[in-house]
Structures are given as structure tokens and as C-alpha cells.
Amino acid sequence: MMNILKHTPALGARTLGAISASLAFAGGALAAEEGGGGGMPQLDPSSFPSQIFWLVVSFAILFLLMWKVALPRVGEVIEQRQQKVSADLDRAEKLKAEVEQISADYEKLLSDARSEANEEIRKVEASIKTSQEKKLHNHDTQIAVMISEAEERIASARKAAMEEIRDVATDAAMSAVEKLIGQSPDKKAVTKAVETAAKGA
């Protein structure tokens, strides 16, 4: 009982107040029984046994009330609060574990997302590099073809120009020889002479 009174000081104070009131009531009852007289009846030695009797009876009644009614209720309230506190603590531990699990899952998802993003970036970079290399190869091939075609056109134009020059030179040589000797020279001989001179040049 003392442990419960320590946990409930207000209840202990009310108990002491009730005991004091009971003592006052018992004293009043004794005074009424004595029927007057001079002085305070509580101080009359002849009334001490009656006062002690009523004190013991009042204390026993209050003790029984506290023991059978008040203290069990107080114990139930304390037990209910303790159970509620324990349930709240258990719930808090569960929530903490759930939060930690959610945090771990979030970190794992974030790490997986980063890994996937890095992998996608590497794939895109590799694809771009391959595409660029392919385009460069195609451009090199096209340039090589264009250069070859240009060289062929240059060679063809050069050949045509040489033929035109040879014809002009042959005509000029025949005209010059004809003016020098007074008759038309052999065209084949002049043409051969021009070709020989062109090869030598």
C-alpha cells in the first residue's frame, strides 16, 4: 500500500484528510455521549478508551475501503497506463523498424536507378561513337570516290587537251613545212614527228 501511495501522493493526502475527519467525528460523538461538562471532552482521561475504540474502528473502516475499493482501482489505472505505455513503445519500435526498412529500400532503389542510368549513358555514348565512326567511314569512302572520279576526269581532260594540242601542233607544223619547202608534207610523218617531240618534252 505504501508503494501505491508513493505513486499517488494526492491519494495519500486525501487518505490522511479522511482519517483526520474521522477522528474529529469520533471526538464529536464522544462529546455528545458525555453530554457536556467543563473543558474539552477529548482531554478527559475517562473517555480515552472510547476514543481509542472509535479511532480503531474508523481506521479499520478506512483501511478496508482503501484496500478493497480505492487501491484496486488505482492499481488498475496504473496497470492500464503501464500497458498503454508498453504498447506505445512497442508500436514506436515497429514504426522505427519500418522506417529503417523503407529507408534501406529507398537507398537500394536509388542505387539501382543510378546504376541503370549510368549503364544507359554508357550505351548511348557507345551508340553515338559507333554512329560517328560509321559516318566518318562513309564520308571517307565518299571522299575517296570523289577524289578518284576527279582524278579520272582530270586525266580524261588532260588526254583530250593533249590530243587537241597535238592536232594543233601537227597542223601548225604542216603549215610551216609547207611554207618552207613549198609543198604539202606527209601528214603521217609530221604527226609522228610531233608525237616524238611531245614525248621528249
Q: Using one digit for the tens of pLDDT, what is the confidence trace for 106-159?
A: 999 999 999 989 999 999 998 898 888 888 888 888 888 888 888 888 888 877
Q: Flag whether pLDDT at 174 surpasses 60.
A: yes
**pTM for this entry:** 0.36
- Residue 194, in any domain of the structure: yes
Q: 67 vs 4, 6, 12, 72, CA distance in Å?
A: 11, 15, 13, 7
- Residue 102, in any domain of the structure: no
Task: For residue 160, give its domain range.
Answer: 155-200
- Give the number of domains in the chain: 1
pLDDT-derived band at 19, boundaries 50, 70, 90: low
Q: Got the DSSP string for 151-170?
A: HHHHHHHHHHHHHHHHHHHH
- Residue 74, in any domain of the structure: no
- Cα separation of 45 and 49, whole Å? 8
Q: 110 burial class (0-12, 13-18, 19+ CB within 10 angstroms)?
A: exposed
**H helical segments located in the chain:** 2-7, 9-34, 48-65, 71-181, 187-200
- Residue 121, in any domain of the structure: no
Q: Flag whether pLDDT at 38 surpasses 70.
A: no
- Residue 168, in any domain of the structure: yes
- Residue 99, in any domain of the structure: no
Mean per-residue pLDDT over the chain, rounded: 76
pLDDT, average across residues 50-76: 89
- Residue 105, in any domain of the structure: no
- Residue 113, in any domain of the structure: no
